[in-house]
Amino acid sequence: MGRYVIGRIGAAAATLFAASIVIFSFIHLIPGDPVSVMLGDAATPEQVAALRERMGLDEPIWVQYLVWAGNALQGDLGRSIFFETPVTQVIADGAETSILLALITMIWIVLFGIPVGILAAIRQGTWIDQGLSGLAMLLASVPTFWVGLYLILIFAAGLGWFPSSGYPSIFEGGGLANLQYLLLPSIALAAPNAALILRLTRASMLDVSREDFVRTARAKGIRPSRVVLRHILRNALLAVVSAFGFTFAALISEAVVTETVFALPGIGRTVVQSILRRDYPVIQGVILVTVCLYLVINLLVDLSYRLLDPRVEL
């Protein structure tokens, strides 16, 4: 186990190094530069060139990479060209929103996706199953922004039950009550993902229920509810848990549409806007942190297999 973890961390470091080179070169290969965006439409090419030089953007790419990578190793991801604040601060600020949003969304997904998936599986072929599968299809196909805009229109602009947009930090005035700002966005974001988990739970429950050991369990006369919970669900969850890991990572980095609709200061929106402005340090920093996140989550998912299934050797 110990050796396994060390080996995985070594592999992760190599992946990180390769990823950092790819990130850096891809970003600098896109045409366009932050200085012309910053100076605006009226600036002349001479002014753009002069400021590029002052900011060190005219150095060869490999020089810029070495400077950046050297600083990054010491935890300094540079300063945002656009916000003029440290990239670590920009990321930390966005991370709070993104992680909390992802966590609340995961709660909806777990509360809705798994029980309803189980229900659909044990009622396979009935009108309940067909109704729930239809609902899942609907939720998975409706675009998040559409759901989001309607939630705002009904529950914020219409009924006035929730704030329409934005998210003040829970560490500021308002405290945990600020989480109400994340309620509508998390529902919009959960809808398609819960539908996927629902379908996955149902499918793997059905797969497992056809296994020999389930038939044996039933033949031994074990109570049906115990067969479902103890024998089928526990085995079916393996597939669901690995999907959870990726869903959670994806919720943090890909919630850009929801973040845009609800004006949330999250990571997804930050990185998309930074790409449009060519704010190199922010793009590089966010992608680097995201890659780390995926590596860590992957590792945790692999380790959790062992907890769920003692047969898995690490």
Residue from 13, 21, 30, 107 touching another protein (CB under 8 A): that is 30
Cβ-contact 33, 278 below 8 angstroms: yes
Q: Which is nearer to another protein, 166 or 224 (CB)?
A: 166
Site map 62..91 versus another protein, x via CB under 8 A: ------------------x-xxxx---xx-
For residue 162, give Cα distances in angstroms to 20, 56, 94, 151.
41, 46, 22, 10
- Binders in 255-294 for another protein, by CB under 8 A: 260-263, 265-266, 269-270, 273, 276-278
Cβ-contact 295, 16 below 8 angstroms: yes
Q: Select the span of 121-129, 146-154, 236-244, 289-297 touching another protein (CB under 8 A).
A: 146-154
- Alpha carbon 188 to its chain centroid, in Å, reads 14
Residue from 39, 214, 238, 297 touching another protein (CB under 8 A): that is 39
157 binds another protein (CB under 8 A): yes
Q: Which residues pair with 86 in a beta bridge?
A: 79
Cβ-contact 83, 280 below 8 angstroms: no
Query: What number of residues does the chain have?
Result: 314
Cβ-contact 288, 72 below 8 angstroms: yes
Cβ-contact 214, 122 below 8 angstroms: no
160 binds another protein (CB under 8 A): yes
Count of positions on this chain that bind another protein (CB under 8 A): 64
142 binds another protein (CB under 8 A): no
Cβ-contact 207, 236 below 8 angstroms: yes
Q: Tell me which residues touch another protein (CB under 8 A).
A: 30-34, 36-48, 50-51, 54-55, 80, 82-85, 89-90, 93-94, 145, 149, 152-153, 156-157, 160-166, 168, 173-177, 180, 183, 260-263, 265-266, 269-270, 273, 276-278
